[in-house]
């Protein structure tokens, strides 16, 4: 959908992703907000080197844990991406770890990200919620009201924190959705909204740079 509207899209399997062996999966243990995020930045730098992508008009988008990565990128490396979209992603890993769903394997979560009792400062240090004042680029957050994995409170509090710091955030809540978009009408509405958001904050930058005689080739 985004490619058909003029965007270059790079899908990134940052360290910790499934499907590449145990060593790769474990490569992000207790490193979230740092090394896996650096993989996202390296991907952005790769796009910038292609010659047909405007380096000043690259955004980051993700869903679920990818949504967390989008928020982390904007909070911990605020100058790297021009805009970010978070679809049902957590923002406060400390609160999240303290209130894991009963059916989750809590110990596995603690091994991956950190124990909320013994490693409170670690989880706090990698939670975008506590660094919302660092976010200077536009953000879009989409949330299902009944999401059991990423509770709505995570997004509500992140939006409030960004706005209280003077940041720009667009917030969409879907009352009849949980984790992601299961209903076609909601998926259509959500991705049309995402496209409009990206057009305003990425294509507008690209058009400005073209008027400024920057050497840019628009992807078609």
3-state secondary structure 35-96: HHHHHHHHHHHHHHHCCCCCHHHCCEEEECHHHHHHHHHHHHCCCCCCCEEEECCCCCHHHH
64: annotated active-site residue = yes
Angstrom distances, CA of residue 211 to CA of 70, 206, 208, 214, 216: 29, 9, 5, 8, 10
- How large is the angle between the packed helices 35-49 and 65-76, nearest 10 degrees? 80
164: annotated active-site residue = no
Spatial contact of 161 and 129, defined as CB atoms under 8 Å apart: yes
* Annotated catalytic residue, options 28, 54, 147, 201: 147
* Annotated catalytic residue, options 17, 56, 64, 165: 64
* Annotated catalytic residue, options 29, 77, 179, 189: 179
5: annotated active-site residue = no
For residue 174, what are the β-bridge partners?
Answer: 144
Annotated active-site positions, please? 64, 147, 179
């Amino acid at each position: 959908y985004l490619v058909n509207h003029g965007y270059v899209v790079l899908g990134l399997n940052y360290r910790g992703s499934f499907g590449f062996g145990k060593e790769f999966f474990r490569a992000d243990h207790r490193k979230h907000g740092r090394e896996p995020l650096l993989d996202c930045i390296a991907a952005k730098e790769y796009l910038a080197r292609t010659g047909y992508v405007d380096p000043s008009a690259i955004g980051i988008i993700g869903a679920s844990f990818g949504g967390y990565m989008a928020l982390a990128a904007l909070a911990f490396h605020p100058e790297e991406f021009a805009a970010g979209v978070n679809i049902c992603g957590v923002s406060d890993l400390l609160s999240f770890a303290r209130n894991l769903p009963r059916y989750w394997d809590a110990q596995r979560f603690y091994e991956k990200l950190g124990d909320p009792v013994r490693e409170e400062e670690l989880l706090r240090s990698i939670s975008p919620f506590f660094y919302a004042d660092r976010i200077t680029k536009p953000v879009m957050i989409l949330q299902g009201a009944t999401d059991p994995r990423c509770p709505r409170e995570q997004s509500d509090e992140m939006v409030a924190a960004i706005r209280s710091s003077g940041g720009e955030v667009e917030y969409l809540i879907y009352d009849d959705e949980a984790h992601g978009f299961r209903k076609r009408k909601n998926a259509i509405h959500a991705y049309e909204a995402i496209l409009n958001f990206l057009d305003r904050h990425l294509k507008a930058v690209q058009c400005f740079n073209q008027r400024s005689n920057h050497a840019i080739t628009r992807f078609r």
